Amino acid sequence: MPARLLDGSALSAALRRALAGDVEALSSTGRRPGLAVVLVGDDPASQVYVRNKVRACADAGIRSELRRLPDDVTEAGLLDVIERFNADDGIDGILVQMPLPPHLSPARVLETIGVDKDVDGFHLSSAGALLHGRIEDGIGFLPCTPYGVMRLLDSAAVPIAGRHAVVIGRSNTVGKPMALMLLARDATVTLCHSRTRDLPEIVRTGDIVVSAVGRAATVTADMIKPGAAVVDVGINRDAAGKLVGDVDATVREVAGWLSPVPGGVGPMTIAMLLENTVLAARRRQAHTTPTT
Ligand code: GUN
């Protein structure tokens, strides 16, 4: 039996419809959530991602403010834009689209975003809050892509506690936080990377496999335990220019669940960005509403 589909497009659409109601409720109290999006340069892929995020905000009733900066903007110039958004009461979340041109330090840029507006979840404090299980205490935000993967797994009731989860890729934005989120749900986690020996053997023991490598056909059918849940975070182009993930199409015949590319994790990342923005607005409202 072919794998059940982990349909991120459908789940994302449902979550965004539900969120639109929350946004209207917040807006009726005089606080429409607002997201600032900063795009440096004219990288074509980044332009598409940013356009999709701005459109998704509009569809959910979230106000967005897009600031385009030339690719020779100085670091001081970019940090100044971020500081202004930090101080802007109409802005609940700030997103600086990555990657940045090489003369700009992503670490300095991301750490300038106020942690209360860090809706991408890339700030050191958000990473620390995830590590220590403190996000639910109102500190920082979960990074959108791994958060979307967890929601996709939960939507299909994929068992996590006690299962072996294999994460391939150790980026700060996906692999490492993904491993921590699965660990927080009591999975036994193995984090694999480019120097891992015997990758196929390790992946074959995974009840859950998340691939975030960025290379087509990293995961093939012979590497998958029958019935495993396979989540494909990769976005690659094949020789014909077609969008493909990290996971080979043949995996569908072996896996129990599989997320497609496109239509799997990508739409979930956007839904989580919007949820984080509404969460940021709620937290700020709770801090500013008088109690008497
Ligand atoms: N570039 C690719 N994905 C992302 C993302 O989720 N957030 C930001 N800020 N930049 C990205």
- Per residue in 201-237, pLDDT (tens digit) is 999 999 999 999 999 999 999 999 999 999 999 999 9
The pLDDT of 240-255, averaged and rounded, is 97
Q: Catalytic one among 120, 207, 232, 246?
A: 120
97 lines ligand 1 (CB under 6 A): yes
Could you tell me where in the chain the CATH 3.40.50.720 domains are found?
A: 144-266
Q: State the pLDDT at residue 288.
A: 80
Q: Determine which residue's CA is closest to atom 7 belonging to ligand 1.
A: 97
Tell me the average pLDDT of the chain: 97
Q: State the pLDDT at residue 1.
A: 86
Q: What is the CATH number of domain 28-134?
A: 3.40.50.10860
CA-to-CA separations, 186 to 159, 164, 236, 267, in angstroms, rounded: 10, 10, 31, 26
Please give the Cα distance from 79 to 156 (Å, whole number): 41
Active site residue 120: yes
110 lines ligand 1 (CB under 6 A): no
Topology annotation, domain 144-266: Rossmann fold (3.40.50)
pLDDT in tens, 258-287: 999 999 999 999 999 999 999 999 999 998
Q: State the pLDDT at residue 95.
A: 98
Active site residue 285: no
What are the phi and psi torsion angles at 72 (to 5°)? Answer: -105, 15
pLDDT band (50, 70, 90) for residue 291: low
pLDDT band (50, 70, 90) for residue 122: very high
Distance 63 CA to ligand 1 centre (A): 19
Q: Is 193 helix (H, G, I), strand (E, B) or coil?
A: coil
List CB contacts of 224: < 8 A, sequence separation 6 or more: 203, 204, 206, 209, 230, 251, 254, 255
List CB contacts of 284: < 8 A, sequence separation 6 or more: 31, 92, 116
Q: Are 157 and 145 in contact (CB under 8 A)?
A: no
Distance 225 CA to ligand 1 centre (A): 31
Mutation probe of ligand 1 site: the residue of 39, 43, 98, 122 with most atoms within 8 A of C-beta:
98
- Ligand 1: atom nearest CA of 99 is 1
* Residue 63, token pair as written in the block: 């106000």
Q: Catalytic one among 7, 22, 97, 116?
A: 97
Q: State the pLDDT at residue 290.
A: 58
Q: Determine which residue's CA is closest to atom 2 belonging to ligand 1.
A: 98
Q: State the pLDDT at residue 228.
A: 98
Could you tell me where in the chain the CATH 3.40.50.10860 domains are found?
A: 28-134
